């Protein structure tokens, strides 16, 4: 005897609606950000702060949109990661524009401690209390601190649906950039990001495995040294 399966169509439709609504919401939230990134950030990550300053009001509107549409519990991990990466990067650009023509973010007093998101979270809070808590070390190659030695600011928004591809691309691009890391088989000169956030990359063996994976260079117990960090503005 065949048993007819009963489906709760109301639940199914609710889930479909929730998925579509989340996708559309993310798209609408980042529309203004995508437009500005494509206009003011080059493929190499150089930022035209001088011209962006003239349109800073649009950036502030985008940040307000982010504040009004904070992540919901129903969002998946990638959607939340993408949201907070975009938030970190947008707030950083806005901070630089507030003080432009500053020559380095380090010239700005309390740059990582200012409560810039909903008057509640600072850049430091977003990085250390939110993003790093999500156990995704590749966020360090997606968030940008407006400096030459930082990973480049991507000229498109991060999106939960394609976040895995984006994180792979920016991690590989950062590791294979000889101005940021010099990787040889028996000796590597790494960005200080790997030193400052060493815990996020695991043991030394795990860190070397990570670097080998994304650089495409086989590494067998290489000597590790760290490069100086250039905090000059990425313009």
Give me the half-sphere count of Cα atoms (radius 13 Å) on the Cβ side of residue 143.
Answer: 24
Given a cut of 90, is residue 4 above it in pLDDT? Answer: no
Span 49-80, pLDDT tens digits: 999 999 999 999 999 999 999 999 999 999 99
Q: Residue 225 in 3-state DSSP? A: strand
Cβ pair 189, 223 in contact under 8 A: no
Cβ pair 59, 52 in contact under 8 A: yes
Pick from 62, 229, 86, 231: which is nearest to 146 by CA?
231
Give me the half-sphere count of Cα atoms (radius 13 Å) on the Cβ side of residue 47.
Answer: 31
Give CA 179 to chain center in angstroms: 20
Given a cut of 90, is residue 25 above it in pLDDT? Answer: no
Using CB atoms within 10 Å of the CB of residue 125, give its burial: 0 to 12 exposed, 13 to 18 middle, 19+ buried: middle
What are the DSSP calls for 148-172, one per residue?
A: TTSPPPPSS---GGGHHHHHHHHHH
* Alpha-carbon gap, residue 191 to 151, rounded angstroms: 10
Mean pLDDT of 96-106: 97
What are the DSSP calls for 59-121, one per residue?
A: HHHHHHHHHHTPPPTTS-HHHHHHHHHHHHHHHHHHHHHHH-S-SBGGGSTTTTTS--BTTTB
* The token pair that represents 223 in the structure block: 């000597």
Which residues are registered as beta bridge partners of 113?
none
In the chain, domain spans: 9-177
pLDDT score recorded for residue 10: 52
| Residue 144 CB neighbours (<10 A) | 21
Mean pLDDT of 30-54: 97
* Alpha-carbon gap, residue 75 to 216, rounded angstroms: 33
Beta sheet of 223-226, edge-to-edge order:
182-183, 187-190, 223-226
Span 131-172, pLDDT tens digits: 999 999 999 999 999 999 999 999 999 999 999 999 999 999
Mean pLDDT of 208-230: 94
């Amino acid at each position: 005897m065949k048993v007819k399966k009963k489906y709760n169509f109301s639940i199914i439709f609710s889930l479909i609606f929730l998925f579509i609504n989340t996708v559309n919401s993310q798209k609408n939230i980042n529309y203004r950000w995508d437009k500005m990134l494509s206009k003011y950030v080059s493929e190499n990550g150089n930022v035209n702060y001088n011209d962006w300053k003239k349109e800073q009001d649009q950036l502030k509107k985008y940040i307000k949109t982010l504040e009004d549409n904070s992540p919901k519990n129903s969002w998946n991990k990638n959607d939340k990661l993408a949201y907070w990466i975009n938030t970190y990067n947008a707030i950083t650009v806005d901070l630089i524009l507030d003080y432009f023509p500053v020559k380095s973010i380090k010239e700005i007093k309390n740059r990582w401690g200012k409560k810039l998101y909903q008057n509640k979270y600072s850049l430091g809070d977003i990085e250390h209390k939110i993003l790093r808590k999500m156990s995704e070390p590749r966020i360090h190659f997606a968030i940008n601190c407006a400096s030459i030695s930082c990973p480049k600011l991507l000229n498109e928004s991060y999106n939960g649906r394609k976040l895995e591809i984006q994180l792979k691309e920016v991690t590989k691009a950062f590791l294979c950039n000889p101005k940021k890391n010099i990787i040889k088989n028996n000796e590597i000169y790494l960005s200080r990001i790997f030193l400052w956030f060493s815990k996020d990359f695991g043991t030394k063996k795990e860190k070397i495995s990570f670097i080998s994976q994304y650089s495409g260079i086989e590494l067998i117990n290489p000597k590790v040294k760290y490069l100086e960090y250039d905090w000059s503005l990425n313009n």
